[in-house]
Amino acid sequence: MSTDRRVALVTGGSGGIGRATAVRLAKDGLAVAVHYAGNKARADETVAEIEASGGAAIAVGGDVADENEMAAAFDATEAAFGGVDVVVNTAGIMILAPIATLDLDDLDRMHRTNIRGTFVVSQQAARRVRAGGAIVNFSTSVVRTQFPMYGAYVASKAAVEGMTLILAREMRGKDITVNAVAPGPTATPLFLDGKDEETIAGLARAVPLERLGQPDDIAETVSFLAGPARWVNGQVLYSNGGLA
């Protein structure tokens, strides 16, 4: 399956923002490795959707926090397509609770995926992405909006922002950009889970464009960073419809 196309590896690519991103990058002409943690069937569905539109894709599995499994995912991507040019780190989990009552096991679970997982994938990307490539990590607009209940999640994503901006400086001389996308309220299962209709409507009204974001809105931002945005580096882009 080796190809001369640019190649993207999208973690969490089997659903939500990750799936929309994988499909969008394939439409942009990239070959895509669709990563999944546990649901291979959904990853295979994303691969099938890409291939039905004339794109090239494979599914790769692994725990993002396990360096050996992610090294194997990168190996599989390189074996299939000849290299890696873009790495998009959408994999993450979100558990909401007041800081005073959050179960510390949930804190550890979230930080293992969101912090260690992002670090492990970023480390592999820093070693393997080819010149002219891009690394895109994921934060959240709540780092800035500071909604109650999000303390532990925001702590993990603030860490992602910090490591992203430092990695951008560490990649000096390699012609590789490193940025983070910080979505606002976006209609994905991760965001909608556990929220009643009144809460969801209130968050939609808080956005000047008066709607929730859609996964395709965020994928568009990633597409910009992965392709034409060669002068955007070491930044956090708030893709949130104008939410403060």
Catalytic residue (choose from 36, 150, 153, 238): 153
Q: Is the pLDDT of residue 3 over 70?
A: no
The alpha carbon of 118 is separated from its chain's Cα centroid by a whole number of angstroms, namely 9
Structure tokens at 64: 């993002």
Q: How confident is the model at residue 2 (pLDDT cuts 50, 70, 90)?
A: low
pLDDT digits (tens, 9 = 90+) for 32-70: 999 999 899 999 999 999 999 999 999 999 999 999 999
Prediction pTM value = 0.94
13, β-bridge pairs: none
Considering only residues 4 and 206, tell me which one the structure prediction assigns the higher pLDDT.
206
> Considering the domain 7-239 in this protein, what is its CATH number?
3.40.50.720
- Token pair recorded at residue 193: 């889970």
pLDDT digits (tens, 9 = 90+) for 146-196: 999 999 999 999 999 999 999 999 999 999 999 999 999 888 876 777 778
Active-site annotation holds for 238: no
Tens digits of residue pLDDT in 106-154: 999 999 999 999 999 999 999 999 999 999 999 999 999 999 999 999 9
Domain ranges of the chain: 7-239
Output the average pLDDT for the chain: 94
